[in-house]
Structure 1
Amino acid sequence: MIKQYLFLFLMLFCCSVMFAQAGPGSNPIDDALRECRADKENQNPEGSIQCEYAARIAWEKEVEKHYKKLLEILTADEKKGLRISQKDWLNYRDNEMLFASTFYKNMKSDSWLVIQAVRLTSIQRTRALELQEYYDMKMLDQD
């Protein structure tokens, strides 16, 4: 019973943190994640983790898309900086994923694996939005 309450609390906490900014201008990936998690079949640890995984893969594609778009419009010096930054970020992401995997799997409740999935999605989401913002700013500055 305690595990069920812990899971419910963690789910509510994660949803409130992840979607605090959701609204009319929300991202389609966030919307799809919200819909996936709202499905009754996914309101358990396994379903929640699957929803997060799908969102993380979608955000990963966004990272790749915006990285490539940025490389098309940056100066040579900016490209060099972005490549270094992206390489360092990928290293951070991979190391964080390894650490999180060990950390959360050593927790006593399987519900923590949902938090791990949310954390990993958040890492990808943050980078995708950062790269998109860089691209948008560069495009605005060209006008």
Structure 2
Amino acid sequence: MLKSKNPLRAFAESVLRCALLVALSGAPLAAHAEAARADPIDTAMQNCSARADRSSTPGQVQCIEAARDAWQAAIDSAMRSIEGTAPDAARRGWQDSQNHWLAWRKEEAPLLRAVFATTRGSTYSITQANMQLQSVRDRALALRHVASRFAPPPAAAPAAPTSAASGASAATSGMMSGAVAAMASGARVGSDAPAVSSPVASRAQSDDARAHDERMRPCNVDAACEHAQFDLRRYERALRDKLPARARPALLRAQRAWKAYFDATAPLGTEAERVDLIGERVATIKRLSETVGND
């Protein structure tokens, strides 16, 4: 009778691990939720986690680590794009932001180890791997958006060749098609032609550009920013109070490095993106404060 329960228990633990992985991997911040749902990296990680030979805790962690490596490659690709297309001031700003992000990640690792050293149970290794993944994923999605803002517009498709028999009619048609395409992209056709924008894509782009051109208010006069900072301080206190005394310096160093990264990055974006940055940190610190000492 005892032997018959072991396979059921192993199966239940496997299901629990898979459910935990899916729940954590499917809980990105609201600012990036739409972009993340269909991303091939997320899909590959979920497919990996569903494989029979990855059903163990080490196997699940391997899937998460592979996804983290893929998101890191996405960060590197986005940074190369920014360095190649952004104006000099923006390029220097994002390079400085990336250097501070790397420094913060280095200080974050000891904090995660200190927190998870207080837990019991193999499934917490999955939680730890997911938390390491999430910050890399958030950064990759943010840098992809930045790279898309600075990327040059796609080249126009070459015109299809026409036969001699079509003559002037084809040439006129080609001129009309070119004019329509130019108008749709917001270009001017001739000296008096009005610019016509695409009703969806161009409006979204112009709204995004306008938001980045607006002067950023101080956080203490931006209600969303001030509230996010309040939450961050609240959960930081909760985490500090729960951590063993010997682990509190790791929290101090990690928060100091994150603040330097935040100060380098927030001025490069919009007020909404500034709140997103704080919100990402709130989510991490809150989860850590709820994890300390769990078994």
TM-score band w.r.t. shorter chain = 0.7 to 0.9
Match of 1:89 in 2: 101
Q: Counterpart of 1:122 in structure 2: which amino acid?
A: Q
Match of 1:18 in 2: 25
What is the number of equivalent residue pairs in this alignment?
Answer: 142
Q: Equivalent residues in 2 for 1:40-119 (5 A)?
A: 40-119=52-131
Match of 1:139 in 2: 151
Q: Quote the offset at 1:140 in angstroms.
A: 7.0
Moved over 3 A (4+): 3-11, 20-25, 140-143
Give distance in 1, aligned partners of 2:89 and 2:36: 37
Match of 2:132 among 110, 115, 120: 120
* Structure of greater relative contact order (alpha carbons < 8 Å, 6+ residues apart): 1
Do the aligned residues in 2 keep the contact of 1:7 with 1:111 (CA within 8 Å)?
Answer: no
TM-score, normalised on structure 1? 0.83
Give distance in 1, aligned partners of 2:57 and 2:113: 16
Q: Equivalent residues in 2 for 1:21-36 (5 A)?
A: 21=33, 26-36=38-48
Q: Counterpart of 2:48 in structure 1: which amino acid?
A: C
Q: Quote the offset at 1:32 in angstroms.
A: 0.9
Give distance in 1, aligned partners of 2:53 and 2:24: 22
TM-score, normalised on structure 2? 0.43
Give distance in 2, aligned partners of 1:33 and 1:14: 9
Uncovered stretches (5+) of structure 1, i.e. residues with no partner: none
Which structure shows the higher helix fraction? Answer: 1
Q: Secondary structure at the match of 1:70?
A: helix
Query: Percent identity among equivalent residues?
Result: 20
Give distance in 2, aligned partners of 1:44 and 1:137: 41
Uncovered stretches (5+) of structure 2, i.e. residues with no partner: 1-5, 28-32, 155-184, 186-295
Q: Quote the offset at 1:80 in angstroms.
A: 1.4
1:25-76: per-residue Cα shift (whole Å, max 9, x none)? 6111111101100012212211111111111111111111111111111111
RMSD: 2.9
Q: Quote the offset at 1:93 in angstroms.
A: 1.6
Q: Looking at CA atoms only, which structure, 1 or 2, has the larger radius of gyration?
A: 2
Do the aligned residues in 2 keep the contact of 1:71 with 1:79 (CA within 8 Å)?
Answer: yes
Q: Counterpart of 1:123 in structure 2: which amino acid?
A: S
Provide closer, same or farther for how the CA distance between residues 25 and 103 of structure 1 changes in structure 2, counting only shifts above 3 A: closer
Q: Which has the higher mean CA deviation after the structures are superposed, 81-90 or 99-108?
A: 99-108
Provide closer, same or farther for how the CA distance between residues 102 and 43 of structure 1 changes in structure 2, counting only shifts above 3 A: same
Q: Which has the higher mean CA deviation after the structures are superposed, 123-132 or 88-97?
A: 88-97
Do the aligned residues in 1 keep the contact of 2:18 with 2:49 (CA within 8 Å)?
Answer: no
Give distance in 2, aligned partners of 1:126 and 1:25: 13
Match of 2:142 among 119, 123, 130: 130
